[in-house]
Chain A
Amino acid sequence: MNTAPDDIEPRIIALLTRYLEPRWTADPSSRVTISGDTGLTSDLTLDSFQVMEFLMELEDDLDIAIDMNRLSDVHTVRDLATVAVQQTA
């Protein structure tokens, strides 16, 4: 599959938006505009459980399996897109 991070990034953003919507609805002040530079823990304040939970949703959405060892390199949405692309290659 010839996929680039730029192709996957919008899907990750859409999926993150859907994942965070209940929290944002409950607390509108926590709503964030997500971009490639958005930090998963620093900006979206996802805890470690939420990151792992979201990751499995992303795997199912893209029909890929992501090696957990790669997550130490992931801080932003773009980092996640890069790892996801490598797992689809």
Chain B
Amino acid sequence: MPLLDKFQAVAAIRAGLGGDHNDPTGVVIEEILSATEGRVAGRRTILAGTNNYLGLTFDPACIDAGKRALEAQGTGTTGSRMANGSFADHTALERELAAFYDLPYGLVFSTGYAANLAVLAALLEPADAVLLDADAHASLYDGCRMSGAEIFRFKHNDPDSLEKRLRRLGERSANALIVTEGLYSVLGDTAPLAEFVSLKEQYGALLMVDEAHSLGVYGDRGRGVAEARGVLDQVDFTVGTFSKSLGAMGGFCVSPHPELDLFRYVARPFIFTASGSPATIATVREALRQLQAQPQLRENLWRNAHRLYDGLQSLGHQLGPEPSPVVAVRIGARDDALRFWNRLLEAGVYVNLMVPPASPDSHSYLRCSVSAAHTPQQIDAVLEAFRGAA
């Protein structure tokens, strides 16, 4: 088949998403009015699908830090850290992230996706075994594939399913890596990390937790689901992103293992890509300070999350299994979800449309993400839009 022919199928899928409707994959936010509002198709729109959990994208201190870095260090690093050298802010951020987690080692990557690729490809070799939660993010799956390791999936958030697979691996389980997330980004459910830690200890495996959506959201100090479950000190590799609660772009890994520092020499997604720009790194450093200095952001976030979850539940919607800043409304059929999503957008509310295979099962979802910066009135307006669109 000619190389380009396969795109005809992609074109057909895209055409099916558009038609008389807006294309959910092509939304343009014409003007960003605040952390929670933008202009879409000329209409003032509440942004309820941005992962801007702490609402820090317009934080004055973060913006000021970015401006100062831009003026002092220029627009970009123009290369990789291995070839061109690190800027002092990159290494400072690594030290600050490690200190935030009370761990000795930290490593910063250009994106969260690259962080997962890099950590998994550095850790694993073709002879190794990795046990991956069935609903794990594509970046985790891609990292496992990139490593060449044998990949065994266990049922989502199911310790029994994980235990069976560890047992089936026999002696190899002592050299296996368990990979899970903290907060799952589509349904807003959290991993049973205490049970996973217990299994990791029992079988002698290592545990990697992606806290991309839970950094700044869970735990007394905002360090994620592992902190909230009291097992943070038993996680071998915690990875995360700067593009959600920290309002910028980039990724990281922290670990108690000194080998993390050697990943710089073997992790291709670290070695062969340009490093984060000075302004980006500066805003992340400031956002990390704000995350720690303003615990009220987390309180606001959870107040809003419960307001939306409870409100949607009372409207009769079928939601994810637990209240969280990710609130998924199950619609079922893709075309119904597409129509519902369009009506919400026309009512001035932007959420995410998740359809198979991007959704974790055969159903379609309208995924909302709540921000600390949402006002109660905005949450109520989102609820009203859901009421009207049903």
Contacts and interface: CB of A to CB of B under 8 A. Distances in A.
A83 interface: no
Given A50-B362, A69-B145, A56 B357 contact: no
A67 B154 CA distance: 11
Given A56-B134, A63-B168, A65-B169, A49 B153 contact: no
B175 interface: no
B42 to A, nearest CB: 37
* Best-buried of A48, A65, A68 by chain B (most CB within 10 Å): A65
Interface of B: 132, 134, 144-145, 150-155, 161, 164-165, 168-169, 356-357, 360-362
Chain B contact residues, majority secondary structure? mixed
B161 A56 contact: yes
Contacts of A68: 132, 144, 150-153
A65 B172 CA distance: 12
Contacts of B134: 52, 56
A37 interface: no
A67 B361 contact: no
Contact of B357 (A47, A59, A67): A47
Contacts of A66: 152
B357 A49 contact: yes
Given A56-B134, A56-B161, A60-B164, A47 B153 contact: no
A74 interface: no
A59 B153 CA distance: 10
Given A47-B362, A48-B357, A56-B134, A67 B151 contact: yes
A14 interface: no
A56 B134 CA distance: 9
A53 to B, nearest CB: 8
Contacts of A63: 164, 168
A49 B150 contact: no
* Best-buried of B152, B169, B361 by chain A (most CB within 10 Å): B152
Given A48-B356, A49-B362, A65-B168, 5 more contacts: A49-B360, A49-B361, A56-B134, A64-B168, A68-B153
B135 to A, nearest CB: 10
Contacts of A48: 356-357
A17 to B, nearest CB: 19
11 contacts: A47-B356, A48-B356, A49-B356, A50-B362, A56-B153, A56-B154, A59-B168, A63-B168, A67-B150, A67-B151, A68-B152
Contacts of B361: 49
A65 B152 contact: yes
A47 B364 CA distance: 14
Contact of B152 (A47, A49, A50, A67): A67
A65 B161 CA distance: 11
A69 B150 contact: yes
A47 B355 CA distance: 13
A63 B169 CA distance: 11
A85 B372 CA distance: 52
Contacts of B155: 56
A64 to B, nearest CB: 6
A65 B152 CA distance: 6
A56 to B, nearest CB: 6
Nearest to A48: B357
B107 to A, nearest CB: 27
Nearest to B359: A49
